[in-house]
Structure 1
């Protein structure tokens, strides 16, 4: 990546478009955020897919409901009554991993990260499956590389990313040899809480009108 490409890329790194994100959670969390105005707690798991932050499904209410409902069977998620909260989000300065430049930058960061691990004589984390699933749901390596990038930017006095955005092909093919998967989605990780302009409760559609 030469300097000309880097300077040009900076012109287009901010994603000013307002998007709608959905977060699956327990009803208690929903009530605290929406009605009691409690802060949205960022996820800090070592296996977070896009690093640490506040997670949303981009424009995907159904996937958020599916995740929250499935969370009832996962003790770690502590979901007793599924709920989904909507958010109005400005992605700001985004590490957009649908962008060719950012993909190559993260690839370079991986090489730097593995070199650091070697020098420190530490094992490099690995992405892992969970039993009965082949989608590498535990993204220890991806999380570590992204967090290492954030740290390097901070250490070098560079502007921090407000958000991280990635696309994931997940689930079974929708038909034989298909490149489309049943649970494919775009996921958003918000690091800067000021990106979230407001929360809302998703409403029922009024069937007497068309949807704009």
Structure 2
């Protein structure tokens, strides 16, 4: 068996506008891959692994921004086969990322060019929401690893400690999550509409 291939299916959740969710579910349109320079896991179709409430929180937050394309927050679920996954929860991949980051930084320094910097958004942002450096390095490192290992990565997976502490003095954060960026859309087996109870906190559901 290919040691790179996870052969593992997970559920992912994507926050979006209700019109987009309805159109995807009925097959009228497809999700668009994110190509921002600040994406946390570089390009891909983004999902929160087993995180429907986090997907909804994100969609609600986005809907409050000026000129947001999200007018009615919604969540769409997806069945995802991780396939060949560049998994940043595995030291095999974080070590590779560090190695290629060092090579990239050295090459750019030779041209007197600095790496982009991760940036905070506002004074309350403690999470470096604009991950310009992370994205830049991943865009370089992943193709290099694919070339060296003679493979093609279907997905990228990472864990993020995000948000305020869950309680005073805690190392646990309120918005911590596992995020997946699907690079090959064929890894998305299908979409579904989450049960409404999945989008409610226990206090709200009761």
**TM-score normalised by length of structure 2:** 0.89
Q: What per-residue deviation string (whole Å, max 9, x for no partner) do you get for residues 44-77 of structure 1?
A: 0000000110000000111001000111122364
Query: Which residue is 1:117 aligned to?
Result: 108
Distance 2:181 2:103 in 1: 23
Query: Which residue is 1:140 aligned to?
Result: 132
Counterpart check, 1:166 vs 2:140: no
Query: Which residue is 2:42 aligned to?
Result: 51
- Unaligned stretches of 5+ in structure 2? 198-206
Distance 2:149 2:99 in 1: 19
CA contact (8 A) 1:174 1:182 kept: yes
Distance 2:146 2:101 in 1: 17
**TM-score normalised by length of structure 1:** 0.87
Larger fraction in strand: 1
Distance 1:77 1:188 in 2: 23
Provide the aligned C-alpha RMSD in A. Answer: 1.9
Distance 1:23 1:37 in 2: 17
By how many angstroms is 1:119 displaced? 2.6
The structure-2 alpha-carbon separation of the partners of 1:182 and 1:68, relative to structure 1 and needing over 3 Å to count, comes to: same
Secondary structure at 2:116's aligned position in 1?
Answer: coil
Distance 2:24 2:143 in 1: 29
CA contact (8 A) 1:22 1:56 kept: yes
Q: How many residues align?
A: 197
Query: Which residue is 1:191 aligned to?
Result: 183
Query: Which residue is 2:52 aligned to?
Result: 61
